[in-house]
Chain A
């Protein structure tokens, strides 16, 4: 059977005659975006788009720009200007032809009827739900006038704040920071809620966060997945772990939760939450006592090993380690010794573990254990956490000069985030930095000048930030909140103006990963739908309006082309690292960086140039030179609540899509049967989970995947459900993060709750 274009359209439109279909479109005002409007206009009537053969489609290169280890390389199939389907790029051995459940929902995301289509203004005030469609000109006029008003009244633009994080990690998306750079000195929500304590820990130990290529894990002889669940959150890494296992490697999962990855491992070891650092210290002591430590490597490459060993000898009692971690001593010994005997052996540390008040100290302790075993600087070895080794772009979109005569803040300078740390020339003034992890209270408390305008981009603070009751107060006291997003999410509900932004399929960009070593071009595959604009185009429009109102008030280019901006991000260093001569080669598929084993040359970027068991910097900043055992936060309620990432969403993205609702419709709280029995809660009961912060109502599932004393809920944003786990999380800091990312992380797994049957 053959499918003609008419056939396809008749199937797509299912009986609606083409003429009336077009008429309908014209009436609804979407004709201007035709033919991209086909799918969205009839979202329920697009079943069975037939596959027409590779040659029938135009293909484009795309990347999944979400905050994810896997950062998939995508091939997009387009017909008549409409995205039909995507595939993972087969050129990348990492993506290997397939995205994940989230990536495969992209077509629905682009053409979702729920997408933000036009600039909107909440005329009834924040949270009123009284919205009115406005033009881009009106939106830009309101924002530009407010910015100029702030500058006139305050003498600075510090009253304008930007919160932007990981909604899109494409390199040109730093143009959003660039937009704020281009108007003057402003206020930034700095730091990262994600992984800062661990970044600091690795930088203290090794002078860098730099992990081995995950694809090497296939040749590891012993793998510990320590507090990481790649079976849900880095599914493309699992094939290497399986391959190692098949070749005889032991795969051990240490985790408070019996995770999806644990169910596929050789061994699962449940540990009491927040005691992982102590376990690592105990394991180090065991292999040193057994003489299995790599003395030669330690002599040549480390600083402070003697002091570290003295600490272990004096302070670490193995019986105590067993008691506190909850793991039998014989099992700890067996684990430590078999790890030390297998070479190469590697440990992958997850980001959840460092979201505790002692998180950084735990990562330092595990780093030290891997170092003692002699597995750092080795092929298929390493203390893996993440890397930014392939992120050496120009950050052209980010680097915008300040308008002449800009006045700013005279506070201390420091890191502002983990990715693009582009300094620029030293100026008399700086931006003002507020802790992103305490957004609510920092916005409320900021004085002289107070924050009056907040721009939210690539971020959904109401889903992801903490202390939400305060956050509502914080937003309400702002003169103007601008939210740039693709969907009407919870944050948009508390905005004054929402701006519809493009998906990655409607713009150019370039993407790399913080885990694997591939570089992917992101091409514009379809024309932007409706009235959506890229973040860069929005910045240009704002610049145009500001300069009309006051010449020279904004330095951002007044017209931008996302492709030209993307090209500007490349430099000879990137070309050299990836072995290409031009970015255009990426049209043929993603490329991988030349293989380097981190720290194989024994050169560490620490002050001593060595692996630092003893760090002066750590002593100065965090009060302990050595990786030592720190007790985790004391409970303030009955049960610990842990809120890990789920496979159904990437933070607040994807779960809201209609297709995702088909495979995962609603949230649950997972409770250990023992705890449930004590509270007379049965499977499927609706329970209230509550603490000093808030209360959630949802269905219970009983499982010993979670340990007694802990309840588990996933962090997600549902379109049709008010559930949000961050209702219960306060903003208590983790121990580290301020050194390299500008602010400490959040101890969000040190949240405590109670629950009862409803």
Chain B
């Protein structure tokens, strides 16, 4: 089993409810977002100031997709990689990969704040909290899931644009190779990220007033 986020960009409103629901649940400090809603086709993504090194997501050249400004989005938190760099690099075992669910968990009570995971994660999922001197990241609300609830982001999405799937379940095979639109490299990263995407498209008929 490998739990994974399936993000449906075709219905995502870009409303950031998911990102804020995550803050509502865990109270991330100002400047830190475990889940971030990114605009497709933007010239550049907002830089994650708290990352020690630039990451793939924030440092790659502009995505190739041509979409109207501020209309199409994808929501991204930890990718809960199949081969997670954070788990490999963590010297104290604060990062673990749950053998049953495949969730990449971070335990702040063990974390020594070395920042290795923040450097290692190609997606900027691990954030460094300078005030606490520790790392932090999305652990797919494993406590909520263990309690019979779904994640804060999934529960709060007003249109059901985020779902949790089992990537190893054959019925989700069609999503196996879907990177976010315009960012073709993401899915091929060595860490084997598990987040999958349904691509958005423009409305079939769009009429704009003639120029002039």
> A39–B29 Cα gap in the complex (Å)?
12
Chain B, residue nearest A45 (CB): B131
* Closest CB in chain B relative to A305 CB, distance in Å: 31
A235 contacts chain B at the CB level, 8 A cutoff:
yes
* Closest CB in chain B relative to A660 CB, distance in Å: 8
B72 contacts chain A at the CB level, 8 A cutoff:
yes
Which A residues are in CB contact (< 8 Å) with B202?
263
- Size category of the binding interface on chain B: 35 or more
Stretch at the interface among A94-102, A309-317, A633-641, A741-749: A94-102
* Closest CB in chain A relative to B194 CB, distance in Å: 22
Contact of B69 among A51, A88, A98, A701 (CB under 8 A): A701
> A108–B29 Cα gap in the complex (Å)?
10
Contact of A104 among B13, B24, B71 (CB under 8 A): B24
Which A residues are in CB contact (< 8 Å) with B149?
54
Contact of A703 among B13, B70, B107 (CB under 8 A): B70
Q: Which of B71, B72, B143 has most A Cβ within 10 Å?
A: B71
Which B residues are in CB contact (< 8 Å) with A232?
13, 15
* Closest CB in chain B relative to A181 CB, distance in Å: 38
* Closest CB in chain B relative to A70 CB, distance in Å: 9
- Once the chains bind, are B24 and A663 in contact (CB under 8 Å)? no
Contact of B156 among A49, A50, A99 (CB under 8 A): A99
Contact of A97 among B29, B43, B156, B159 (CB under 8 A): B156
Chain B, residue nearest A672 (CB): B211
> A708–B20 Cα gap in the complex (Å)?
34
- Once the chains bind, are B209 and A326 in contact (CB under 8 Å)? yes
- Once the chains bind, are B206 and A647 in contact (CB under 8 Å)? no
> A463–B143 Cα gap in the complex (Å)?
42
- Once the chains bind, are A96 and B158 in contact (CB under 8 Å)? yes
- Once the chains bind, are B212 and A663 in contact (CB under 8 Å)? no
B16 contacts chain A at the CB level, 8 A cutoff:
yes
Q: Which of B19, B37, B131, B206 has most A Cβ within 10 Å?
A: B206
Which residues of A from 33 to 57 have beta carbons under 8 Å from B?
A: 39, 44-54
Which B residues are in CB contact (< 8 Å) with A160?
none
A93 contacts chain B at the CB level, 8 A cutoff:
no
Which residues of A from 81 to 125 have beta carbons under 8 Å from B?
A: 85-88, 96-102, 104-108
Chain B, residue nearest A7 (CB): B109
> A405–B160 Cα gap in the complex (Å)?
60
- Once the chains bind, are B27 and A235 in contact (CB under 8 Å)? no
A558 contacts chain B at the CB level, 8 A cutoff:
no
Which B residues are in CB contact (< 8 Å) with A1?
107, 109
* Closest CB in chain A relative to B155 CB, distance in Å: 5
- Once the chains bind, are A674 and B211 in contact (CB under 8 Å)? yes
A269 contacts chain B at the CB level, 8 A cutoff:
yes
* Closest CB in chain B relative to A108 CB, distance in Å: 7
Chain B, residue nearest A705 (CB): B68
- Once the chains bind, are A108 and B23 in contact (CB under 8 Å)? yes
Stretch at the interface among A206-214, A236-244, A690-698: A236-244
Q: Which of B32, B37, B156 has most A Cβ within 10 Å?
A: B156
B26 contacts chain A at the CB level, 8 A cutoff:
yes
- Once the chains bind, are B143 and A53 in contact (CB under 8 Å)? yes
Contact of A87 among B13, B129, B156 (CB under 8 A): B156
Which B residues are in CB contact (< 8 Å) with A328?
207
Chain A, residue nearest B129 (CB): A47
A231 contacts chain B at the CB level, 8 A cutoff:
yes
- Once the chains bind, are A647 and B16 in contact (CB under 8 Å)? yes
- Once the chains bind, are B158 and A51 in contact (CB under 8 Å)? no
Contact of A268 among B33, B157, B205 (CB under 8 A): B205
B25 contacts chain A at the CB level, 8 A cutoff:
yes
- Once the chains bind, are A45 and B143 in contact (CB under 8 Å)? no
Q: Which of B157, B208, B209 has most A Cβ within 10 Å?
A: B209
Which B residues are in CB contact (< 8 Å) with A53?
143, 147
Q: A48-B108, A98-B21 are in contact. Are A267 and B203 (CB under 8 A)?
A: yes
- Once the chains bind, are B131 and A268 in contact (CB under 8 Å)? no
Chain B, residue nearest A254 (CB): B207
Which A residues are in CB contact (< 8 Å) with B141?
51
A658 contacts chain B at the CB level, 8 A cutoff:
yes
Chain B, residue nearest A256 (CB): B209
- Once the chains bind, are B23 and A100 in contact (CB under 8 Å)? no
Which residues of B from 19 to 56 have beta carbons under 8 Å from A?
A: 19-21, 23-33, 37, 43
A556 contacts chain B at the CB level, 8 A cutoff:
no
Chain A, residue nearest B23 (CB): A659
Which residues of A from 213 to 250 have beta carbons under 8 Å from B?
A: 231-232, 235-236, 238-239, 242
> A326–B132 Cα gap in the complex (Å)?
58
Which B residues are in CB contact (< 8 Å) with A106?
24
Q: For chain B, what secondary structure do more than half of its interface residues adopt (helix, strand, loop), or is it mixed?
A: loop
Q: A1-B109, A662-B31, A663-B37 are in contact. Are A104 and B20 (CB under 8 A)?
A: yes
- Once the chains bind, are A707 and B209 in contact (CB under 8 Å)? yes
- Once the chains bind, are A272 and B209 in contact (CB under 8 Å)? yes
> A326–B160 Cα gap in the complex (Å)?
36
> A703–B157 Cα gap in the complex (Å)?
27
- Once the chains bind, are B71 and A258 in contact (CB under 8 Å)? yes
B11 contacts chain A at the CB level, 8 A cutoff:
yes
Which A residues are in CB contact (< 8 Å) with B203?
262-268
> A85–B32 Cα gap in the complex (Å)?
17
Chain B, residue nearest A231 (CB): B13
Which residues of B from 122 to 152 have beta carbons under 8 Å from A?
A: 129, 131-132, 136, 141, 143-144, 147-149, 152
A704 contacts chain B at the CB level, 8 A cutoff:
yes
> A239–B69 Cα gap in the complex (Å)?
23
Contact of A263 among B32, B68, B157, B158 (CB under 8 A): B68
B93 contacts chain A at the CB level, 8 A cutoff:
no
- Once the chains bind, are A661 and B21 in contact (CB under 8 Å)? no
A331 contacts chain B at the CB level, 8 A cutoff:
yes
Q: A1-B107, A85-B24 are in contact. Are A50 and B17 (CB under 8 A)?
A: no
> A95–B91 Cα gap in the complex (Å)?
44
B14 contacts chain A at the CB level, 8 A cutoff:
yes
> A128–B52 Cα gap in the complex (Å)?
43
> A663–B17 Cα gap in the complex (Å)?
10
A270 contacts chain B at the CB level, 8 A cutoff:
yes
Which A residues are in CB contact (< 8 Å) with B157?
98
Chain A, residue nearest B36 (CB): A663
A14 contacts chain B at the CB level, 8 A cutoff:
yes
> A670–B69 Cα gap in the complex (Å)?
10
Q: A105-B20, A659-B23 are in contact. Are A704 and B68 (CB under 8 A)?
A: yes
Contact of A264 among B13, B25, B136, B211 (CB under 8 A): B13
Which B residues are in CB contact (< 8 Å) with A702?
69
B204 contacts chain A at the CB level, 8 A cutoff:
yes
A68 contacts chain B at the CB level, 8 A cutoff:
no
* Closest CB in chain B relative to A73 CB, distance in Å: 13
Which A residues are in CB contact (< 8 Å) with B27?
39, 46-49, 107-108
Q: Write the A12-48 contact mask toward B (1 if CB under 8 angstroms, else 0).
A: 0010000000000000000000000001000011111
Contact of A663 among B20, B68, B148, B207 (CB under 8 A): B20
Contact of A238 among B155, B158, B204 (CB under 8 A): B158
B99 contacts chain A at the CB level, 8 A cutoff:
no
Which A residues are in CB contact (< 8 Å) with B14?
260
- Once the chains bind, are A647 and B30 in contact (CB under 8 Å)? no
Contact of B43 among A101, A239, A683 (CB under 8 A): A683
Which residues of A from 524 to 570 have beta carbons under 8 Å from B?
A: none
A292 contacts chain B at the CB level, 8 A cutoff:
no
With A98-B157, A703-B68 given, name 13 new contacts (CB 8 A): A44-B131, A45-B29, A45-B131, A54-B149, A104-B21, A235-B17, A235-B158, A239-B159, A242-B11, A327-B207, A674-B211, A705-B68, A708-B209
* A-B residue pairs in contact (CB < 8 Å), sample of 12: A47-B32, A47-B136, A48-B27, A49-B27, A88-B155, A98-B17, A107-B27, A231-B15, A263-B68, A264-B13, A662-B31, A708-B211
> Which residues from chain A sit less than 8 Å from chain B, CB to CB?
1, 7, 11, 14, 39, 44-54, 85-88, 96-102, 104-108, 231-232, 235-236, 238-239, 242, 258, 260, 262-272, 326-328, 331, 647, 658-664, 670, 674, 683, 701-705, 707-708
**Top 10 A-B residue pairs of the complex, sorted by shortest distance between their CB atoms:** A98-B156, A104-B20, A263-B71, A703-B69, A267-B205, A104-B24, A51-B143, A235-B158, A101-B16, A101-B20
